[in-house]
Amino acid sequence: MDLVLLEKALLGLFAAIVVAIAVSKLRGKRFRLPPGPLPVPVFGNWLQVGDDLNHRNLSALARRFGDILLLRMGQRNLVVVSSPAVARDVLHTQGVEFGSRTRNVVFDIFTGKGQDMVFTVYGEHWRKMRRIMTVPFFTNKVVQQYRTGWEDEAARVVADVKADPKAATEGIVLRRRLQLMMYNNMYRIMFDRRFESEEDPLFLRLKALNGERSRLAQSFEYNYGDFIPLLRPFLRGYLKICKEVKERRLQLFKDYFLEERKKLASTKPVDNAGLKCAIDHILDAEKKGEINEDNVLYIVENINVAAIETTLWSIEWGIAELVNHPDVQQKLRNELDTVLGPGVAVTEPDTQKLPYLQAVIKETLRLRMAIPLLVPHMNLHDAKLGGFDIPAESKILVNAWWLANNPDHWKKPEEFRPERFLEEEAKVEANGNDFRYLPFGVGRRSCPGIILALPILGITIGRLVQNFELLPPPGQKKLDTSEKGGQFSLHILKHSTIVAKPRMI
Ligand code: HEM
């Protein structure tokens, strides 16, 4: 069976080589393509550049080939954007033309072929989904409804860490507790639910399935089938696993959260005055026939992938930088003590009065950008960019990390120095008011979750610094801040063990 498949694939490969040479000759004449390394037939640049197109590798390529460069990954065209001016063109001026998302066989499985919002093409469906999700998730009213919940979750983290004798001596992996906090912050908004402990069986199942989904979607393992469609039949086993994980995960959302909420609503009607949680609004839209049952599930799926780990990685990076820069940590603590008074726990409205806290968060998001290449964009039709032709359905990667870390545009960008956002970069905000700094993107497909992420970061980091002196574990001068990932998301390679010594206030 597999031999027949192999024979077919080899024949197909030969045919593809001939076609690719012919097409590239024709295209070369017709198109003025962006520069890039010289592609070979069938594989394009894949064998030269490899699988790991992370933010640093792409920055190195930009230094060689310029602000708009083209990589051919098998049959896929990948355009890398590396300057603020071109980023403006892609995300703002030509926001509609470049406002779609790429698809592949694996994402098609996890999103039901684009029935979701985050990974769907630009158009009517996306517009409707984004509109329906805005009121329940992305307004200041939501922040006001849930901020005491986030403050409560942060207070519980502080209490749990204080109660753990290891925390002040050998140290603990703080991230584990913060992960529970982030799930609770988001599950309170979505379903008015929280998980009691890190050992809660439902939390463990959810975490495992979300982890599997991210691993499978972000793996390089299926690249060959994505880049060279003829090899796709060999992905059968991989895709089968993806389908199983997707089914189990959606079933879990359905059985344990959606059905529960529907049952509750039928016995105890939610009042319209504000006790509705996000899913009640989404179910209303389903009842009105605006979306179907699957869309509801994919909204839950999207929040699980887009909201929880992104914010958690940023908190984790922020804490690691504060441990490695005790002077910054102390300065932040002084600000909290001076502005709020010692022992007065920081709340969401306070975060506006704390410029140094804001600067620490901005600097963390600059140097350790959680989604360094944004979520890939795509042009549905042939387009123009900076005088070059961009073939339809190219994957467009905006290297936002490089925009924010290019020494031509930033003073000593490799340094973690929050002061820059109070001094020479005082006007730069995280909302995309400066095209050198786009941690949440900008324009039509920008992150709507910024309105929640920034206060959650402020409350969490603020409370930790108010309550603890955060230090590396005994015998270690600094935490290891080696990076992992970069192509989809950028996280710390090893979750740090951190000593949290309670302050005597
Ligand atoms: C520090 C935390 C976060 C960071 C750094 C972040 C970053 C991003 C980035 C870079 C994008 C892609 C922008 C683009 O493609 O141009 C994005 C998209 C998105 N984010 Fe976030 N995000 C964070 C938290 C959140 C939260 C808390 C939520 C939800 C509650 C959320 C929901 C979304 C959604 C729904 C999209 C897709 C928007 C679309 O395609 O129209 N994010 N985010």
Give CA–CA dist 140/143, Å, rounded: 5
Query: Residue 434 in 3-state DSSP?
Result: coil
Question: How many of the other CB atoms lie within 10 Å of CB of 106?
Answer: 21
CA of 358 to the centre of ligand 1 (A): 19
Task: Let me know whether 65 and 4 are in one domain.
Answer: no
Ligand 1 probe mutation, 440, 451, 459, most atoms within 8 A of CB: 440
Any binding-site annotation on 447? yes
Mean pLDDT of 469-492: 96
Task: Let me know whether 145 and 23 are in one domain.
Answer: no
For residue 1, pLDDT beyond 50: no
CB 324 within 8 A of CB 316: no
CB 435 within 8 A of CB 403: yes
Tell whether ligand 1 has an atom less than 6 A from the beta carbon of residue 44.
no
Mean pLDDT of 491-495: 96
Domain that holds residue 485: 31-502
Tell whether ligand 1 has an atom less than 6 A from the beta carbon of residue 375.
yes
Spell out where 66-176 has E strands: 68-73, 76-81
Number of domains in the chain: 2
Task: Let me know whether 26 and 104 are in one domain.
Answer: no
pLDDT digits (tens, 9 = 90+) for 142-182: 999 999 999 999 999 999 999 999 999 999 999 999 999 99
For residue 366, pLDDT beyond 70: yes
CA of 94 to the centre of ligand 1 (A): 20
Task: Let me know whether 295 and 435 are in one domain.
Answer: yes
Task: Let me know whether 61 and 4 are in one domain.
Answer: no
Strands 383-385 and 468-471: unpaired
Tell whether ligand 1 has an atom less than 6 A from the beta carbon of residue 447.
yes
Q: Identify the band that residue 459 occupies on the pLDDT scale cut at 50, 70 and 90.
A: very high
CA distances from 223 to 41, 219, 431 (A): 17, 8, 33
| CA 454 to ligand 1: nearest atom | 1
CB 171 within 8 A of CB 473: yes
| CA 377 to ligand 1: nearest atom | 15
**Domain CATH code at residue 197:** 1.10.630.10
CA of 102 to the centre of ligand 1 (A): 16
Query: Residue 64 in 3-state DSSP?
Result: helix
Task: Let me know whether 449 and 388 are in one domain.
Answer: yes
CA of 422 to the centre of ligand 1 (A): 25
CA of 190 to the centre of ligand 1 (A): 16
| The model scores a pTM over 0.85 | yes
For residue 320, pLDDT beyond 80: yes
Mean pLDDT of 355-372: 98
% of the chain at pLDDT higher than 90: 90
Task: Let me know whether 12 and 37 are in one domain.
Answer: no
Task: Let me know whether 12 and 85 are in one domain.
Answer: no
Ligand 1 probe mutation, 310, 319, 374, most atoms within 8 A of CB: 310
pLDDT digits (tens, 9 = 90+) for 20-76: 554 455 455 578 999 999 999 999 999 999 999 999 999 999 999 999 999 999 999
Task: Let me know whether 25 and 82 are in one domain.
Answer: no
Ligand 1, atom 20, lies closest to the CA of: 447
Q: Point out which residues pair with 390 in neighbouring strands.
A: 383
User: What is the model's pLDDT at position 264?
Assistant: 84
Render 22-43 in DSSP notation, one character per residue.
HHHHHHHHH--PPP-SPPBTTT
| CA 457 to ligand 1: nearest atom | 1
pLDDT digits (tens, 9 = 90+) for 201-232: 999 999 999 999 999 999 999 999 999 999 99
Task: Let me know whether 162 and 37 are in one domain.
Answer: yes
Mean pLDDT of 124-132: 98
When the pLDDT of each residue in the chain is averaged and rounded to a whole number, the result is 93
CA of 446 to the centre of ligand 1 (A): 7
| CA 303 to ligand 1: nearest atom | 29
pLDDT digits (tens, 9 = 90+) for 71-118: 999 999 999 999 999 999 999 999 999 999 998 999 999 999 999 999
| CA 137 to ligand 1: nearest atom | 30
CA of 440 to the centre of ligand 1 (A): 6
Tell whether ligand 1 has an atom less than 6 A from the beta carbon of residue 455.
no
Q: Identify the band that residue 349 occupies on the pLDDT scale cut at 50, 70 and 90.
A: very high
Angle at 220 between CA 217 and CA 225, to 5 degrees: 90
Task: Let me know whether 295 and 376 are in one domain.
Answer: yes
Task: Let me know whether 465 and 379 are in one domain.
Answer: yes
User: What is the model's pLDDT at position 157?
Assistant: 98
Mean pLDDT of 240-253: 98
Spell out where 347-489 has E strands: 377-378, 383-385, 388-390, 395-398, 468-471, 483-485
